Structure formats: structure tokens, C-alpha cells
Structure 1
Amino acid sequence: MANSETTASGTRVHLRYQVEGMDCSSCALKIEDAVEQLDGAEDIQVNYKEQILEFLLDEATTPRSAVEEKIRKLGYGVAPLA
């Protein structure tokens, strides 16, 4: 699921998620804004047609579980992709 690289601040991982229930551009924008607010999240890309969320995350700053929880609180299902 995740490729990782070590940086001066910690380990950044490339994460990909299937986001269930994201069916329009407004949904995608809501998810992008929520992930953007988390420290350590960068290069956020959301594709609502394929229901995919991709981004880089510095896990020393924010664990991936916090991202998943935030998306679930918005009312979407979220599952990691390989």
C-alpha cells in the first residue's frame, strides 16, 4: 500500500485509499480539505470518479489512523489500497 522515504523530519509514505461514498466533486473537495488540514499531509490528489485518495504523509507528525478516522467522521468508508 505505501512506499516510504526517510526525510530529516521522519518517514514520509505514499498512501492510496479507496473512499466509498465519494460520488461528486464536492465530496472530493471536502475530503481534500480535511486531509490538507492534517500536519504532514502533502501532494493530496482525489479522484471522485474512481473513489481514490492519494497523498504523502509524514507519519512522525500524523499517523495514518488519524487520516482514516477523519475521513470516516465525514461519513465515508475508507480502505487502504495496495
Structure 2
Amino acid sequence: MTNPESTTSGTQVDLRYLVHGMDCTSCALKIEDAVEQLGGAEDIQVNYKTQVLELRLDEATTPRSAVEEKIQGLGYRVAPLG
């Protein structure tokens, strides 16, 4: 069985999330800025049209649950894609 999150090196993983509630580029930028503030998050891309967040995360620095909580704290619903 293939893991939908590909490990890139060590504790870095590529993650994809469906983020419900984005309706404009400002929403996407708000999420991108919030996730960027978390340590270990790189290559952050948010597309409000597809409602998808993609990023590379170093889980030794920041667990994925912290990313999910950060997004939920902004008022959006988030679910892993895979």
C-alpha cells in the first residue's frame, strides 16, 4: 500500500489538505501567511479555487497537527488529501 504523503528526507513530508471556506485570494494569502509562520513549513501553495493547500513540512520541528490547528483557528475546515 502506498503512503499518499511522500517522505522527502528525514522527517520532511509533502502534505496536501482540502481547506473548506476559502472564497478569495485574500483567504488563501491569510492561510499561506499563517502556515509560513510555523517553523519547518516550506514550499507553501494555497489555491482558493481548488481549496487545496500543499506544503513540505519538517515534522521534527512542527507536527502536522499544529498546521491543522492553525488553519482551524482561522475559521476554516481542513482535511488531509491523499
Q: Which amino acid aligns with 1:19?
A: V
Counterpart position of 2:32 = 32
Instruction: Choose the corresponding residue for 2:5, options 2, 16, 19.
Output: 2
Name the one with the larger strand percent. Answer: 1
Identity, in percent, stands at: 73
Large movers: runs of 4+ above 6 Å: none
| Structure 2 gaps, min length 5 | none
Shift of 1:6: 2.1
Are residues 1:52 and 2:52 paired?
A: yes
Count, aligned residues: 79
Secondary structure in 1 matching 2:31: helix
Shift of 1:69: 0.2
Counterpart position of 1:70 = 70
Secondary structure in 2 matching 1:66: helix
TM-score normalized by structure 2?
0.93
- CA offsets per residue over residues 28-66 of structure 1, 9 Å max, x none? 000000000000000000000000000000000000000
TM-score normalized by structure 1?
0.93
Structure 2 Cα separation of the partners of residues 6 and 29 of structure 1? 27
RMSD: 0.8
| Structure 1 gaps, min length 5 | none
Structure 2 Cα separation of the partners of residues 5 and 49 of structure 1? 27
